[in-house]
Amino acid sequence: MLNVTVKWDTTRLDRGLTMAAAFSKRTLPQVVNTAAYWVAVNAKNAMPFVTQERIDTDLGVIKTVVTVGKSGKALKKASTRTSFGRMVSVKYKGRTKQVPYAALIISARAKPGSHYNELTKGKWALDKNPFAGESPRAGRSAMKAAIMKMVKARHSATKFLLAGWVPAVRALLPFTAQKFMKGTVSLGADAKAYHGTNIGGAVVALPGTTCGAVIENAVGGFGVNAEKYNEALQKHGLPGFEAALSKEGESAMAYALKHMDADLVKECQPMFS
């Protein structure tokens, strides 16, 4: 069961936006949408991710080696060198041997009912062992191919969690007031609501006496591994999201203080402490 109940403090943001709106030339929807946009941007930028270099260190990588002479031309045919990354000690037939960590993952994926497949709910399970029944040489070649296919797939998914903020950023940008934009928008059908792919989205604020915008990172709400995604999103994304809320609130407060007269600043200063 997903645990999606998470609380965060928006006191400073709400207070800052209320005060800033009183002194801004922007419309109320522009104030709200701009704030929501920057919260999404800063939450995205704060999301940690595993680098491709770290993946290569753990799982391995095939490198192409080319010897080049003074003329700049290759002196001989390019060769490939395989690094299997992290090695793990395992016991096999009473002996301890070093096995590539990536090879253990491939083996676990190919074994029905393995702990790895149980944890991942079989999402990356292999239909069969790609090297079973092969000669030692063919087996090594098949293992190498399986590892590099896995590494390539991992490379393309390094920023999966932060990608959930991208639909919200794209949706809100046309409805914000930025220094590099005129701050005017056309409130057509697209202004009613926007939902990107199921990894996230946003609902823009519309004109009214009160209005609100919604931003959503939904990578933890779908798929067979939704529970794990949700856990990762809360663990790695919540600190950055809370910091983004505080940053935008402080920015709005600073704007309000800048545009107040001296007596009003003195009167309202306790609200910002």
Residue 215 domain-assigned? yes
Hey, which bits of 10-120 come out as E strands? Answer: 61-65, 79-83, 87-92, 95-100
* Better-scored residue on pLDDT, 257 or 30: 30
Evaluate if pTM is beyond 0.75.
no
Q: Answer with the one of 92, 123, 155 that is the final residue of a domain.
A: 155
Q: What is the pLDDT of residues 226-236, one digit of tens each?
A: 787 788 888 88
**How many H-runs (helices) and E-runs (strands) does the chain carry?**
10, 7
Q: What is the pLDDT of residues 183-219, one digit of tens each?
A: 444 443 333 444 345 788 888 888 877 788 888 888 8
pLDDT of res. 196: 42
Residues 6 or more apart whose Cβ sits within 8 Å of residue 132: 110
Q: How far apart are the first and last CA of the chain?
A: 40
Range of the domain at 238: 11-49+160-272
Q: What is the pLDDT of residues 36-60, one digit of tens each?
A: 999 999 999 988 877 777 777 777 6
Type of residue found at 199: I
How large a percentage of the chain has pLDDT more than 70? 74
Q: 164 and 38: one domain?
A: yes
Q: Answer with the one of 155, 186, 220 that is the final residue of a domain.
A: 155
Q: 127 and 217: one domain?
A: no
Please say if the pLDDT value at position 108 is more than 80. Answer: yes
Q: Answer with the one of 155, 172, 203 that is the final residue of a domain.
A: 155
Residue 6 domain-assigned? no
CA proximity to 250, closest of 31, 27, 17: 17
Q: 116 and 190: one domain?
A: no
